[in-house]
Structure 1
Amino acid sequence: MAKLTKKQKEAYAKVDKTQSYDLAAASALVKDITNVKFDASVDLAIRLGVDPRKANQMVRGVVTLPHGTGKDVKVLALVTPDKEADAKAAGADYVGLDEYLQKIKGGWTDVDVIITMPSVMGKLGPLGRILGPRGLMPNPKTGTVTMDVAKAVTDVKAGKIDFKVDKTGIVHAAIGKVSFDAKKIEENANELIQTIIKLKPTTAKGTYVKSVFMSSTMSPSIAVEVKTV
């Protein structure tokens, strides 16, 4: 294990690994233990009692964080000419179709979210091997394949994120920045957790939310009391 710096040791000393913190305390503590020189992301890792290998236990959804993510999300709208003006007015960073399909084919993926229309999805199929591994393939379930492109762009810019349980049964998601005040971190975290709770598969047995950990970039993780969420 790499040797800890003085600041890292101080941060670890502030986190009592023998206890869980309520969401409000964890949100305040994550700010206190973050000492990087940039505006670090605040992340949640939520372990669920599901078997992601079974289709009927896959937990996936979208949530609009009440205070946004704090990140300037770069959006590409792949739309037909009649939708271009709406997408630009809604704040899409890149708008077009064939020219961007060619750029993606060449390896360009310098965006965070791609939004498109049902009629365009056929053209995206061959690009699945490029977009899929990067989590950029539009999907109707996450609202990124829609006829209301303008609303989808607005939602993403306002803090709408999609999440999905990974193969180990954990949902990882960024829910804000350390520069947020603790109350905003708490409310964003709670919104994500409550959304996931509502998505509990009927086939999931036993404890559904097994553990919740909060951390920031390069900080120790903080155990959150499951019963408080």
Structure 2
Amino acid sequence: MKITFLGTGGGRFSAISQRRMTGGFRIDNLNGKNYHVDPGPGALVRTYQFGFDPRNLDGVFVSHAHTDHYNDAEILIEAMTRGMTKEYGVVLGNKSVLDGYERWGPGISKYHQSHSKKYVLEPNQVENINGCSVKGTKTVHGDPEGVGFQIDYRGFKISYTSDTGYFEDLHKYHKGADILIASVLRPGNKSIRGHLCSRNFIELLKEVKPKLAIMTHFG
């Protein structure tokens, strides 16, 4: 299994400037399958730049309906389904991304959802996808329906907070994570609503105690 970050930028200003790339990340060869998580602006171009082929994806996961997380999802779905000519793969996202919620989304059109297996994920909901359990984790963010993900393959767990502010029970959703990937927008104590800062990340590490911790989504 391999995790590759197609940029470590996040937030609207990083996405606009591309000082840090905002292509999300890939998880490859997880039980023989490949997934792209939160493919923001530039994800397709960065996929080729880093030597990958978007046509070998088996799933696209999107945590919430903000453009720095879903912008390139539709073109990656087109690649996965061979230009929408094949029924293939998995499209997993929160309610806002797939169905729309109030003023958020949908971030992926009904057309682009039509050729893959669709999963709408909520916090604590678990879906079995290609031999892995994928659990939705709670977030406190601008998209009120946003989720993170915890992927469990035979007891090995990869947790992704997505965008969230720190809250008391955050660590409970990522309990047991071997790898913890956190969106950390600001350094030190410079937290803003709906996002972690590095001080929050340190607190989360003390509570979750992962074997490997990764910060991404820098603003």
- Higher Cα Rg, which structure: 1
Task: Return the TM-score normalized by structure 2.
Answer: 0.29
Larger RCO, structure (CA 8 Å, separation 6 or more): 1
Higher-helix-fraction structure: 1
Task: Return the TM-score normalized by structure 1.
Answer: 0.28
